[in-house]
Structure 1
Amino acid sequence: MAVSIESLISSMKWAAKSHLDEYGYEVDGYRVTLRRGTAPAASPDFGVSVVTEVEAGSVAGPGSPAGDGGKDAQNAITAPLSGICYLSKDADSAPFVTAGDSIAKGQTVCLIEAMKVMTSVVAEADGTIAALRVEDGATVEAGSVLFEVRP
């Protein structure tokens, strides 16, 4: 995987030390944005709350474990990393998307938490959520299918 936890932690430390409220970079097709104070839960270990945005479709490529039973990766939104998947911003909020919802490129469809870092999974293209393949609070592995999408 091109974006490692170690590189995220290193970037978080650098951004905090540099007193940046927001820092973004792209590596191997992954877009990562670190923002201070915007995650649902603060990260006390680093003094900065972080939300990363990864275009979900960019994960499934040649050799990627899409975990979709042979379906075309363009018809699925996959987990960009392993962690706990949240279908809404918090317990009191409505889900980001449900089956049948239309989605737009760049729209947040879920959050994945790994090592106190909340990663916002965003749609890579416009479409319609055909099916949810994950439950709220479930542990997911990188590359596993979260949503089936119709173009």
Structure 2
Amino acid sequence: METKEIQKLIDYISKSDLDEVNIETSELKLHIKRHTGATVQTTQLAAAPAPAALPAAPAAEAPAPVVENPNAGLIEVKSPMIGTFYRAAGPGKPNFKEIGDNMAEGDVICIVEAMKLFNEIEAEVSGKIVKILVDDASPVEFDQPLYLVDPS
């Protein structure tokens, strides 16, 4: 298992409800545990080439002070598919929506290109765009937040 694969696994686990994962192969033993702090233990079992070393897990620190979420009350507009995010219909054309613009249900707010198909993404909520979370022509994942919208 390579370092990138281990990091992806850690990221996946951090977003899931899992608290502990054990993986054991002929070359590697991996134990990931999430409770108060992140713990990652790896053991090289065989004399095979070792994967690149992982950065040490940070020591458990005092809990962070509770900070009010500045995005409370805002709605995330998420990508319905994996693809490439475009803010405009084409090069040189105006963006569908800008920060501060109002949008209504059914308005086209962006395009997500998937497998050479350009899919117009329509708003499912009405409100004012507060923040655009993705850069133009960037890859996006399924369910990745694209916009923050104030519904009031």
Query: Unmatched 5+ residue regions in structure 2?
Result: 1-15, 17-68
In 2, the alpha carbon distance for the partners of 1:137 and 1:123 equals 19
- Over 3 Å counting, the alpha-carbon distance change for 1:74 and 1:124 in structure 2 is farther
In 2, the alpha carbon distance for the partners of 1:100 and 1:94 equals 15
Larger Rg: 2
5 Å matches for 1:95-134?
A: 95-134=95-134
Partner residue in 2 for 1:138: 138
SS at match of 2:98: coil
Aligned-pair distance for 1:117? 1.0
| Per-residue deviation, residues 78-100 of structure 1 (Å, max 9, x unmatched) | 00000000000001111000110
Identical-residue share of aligned pairs (%): 29
In 2, the alpha carbon distance for the partners of 1:124 and 1:73 equals 16
Aligned residues: CA RMSD: 2.2
Letter of the 1:94 counterpart? P
Question: What TM-score comes out, normalization by structure 1 length?
Answer: 0.51
How many pairs are equivalent? 83
SS at match of 1:84: strand
Aligned-pair distance for 1:73? 10
Aligned-pair distance for 1:122? 0.8
Moved more, 71-80 or 86-95: 71-80
- Over 3 Å counting, the alpha-carbon distance change for 1:73 and 1:137 in structure 2 is farther
Partner residue in 1 for 2:84: 84
More helix by share: 1
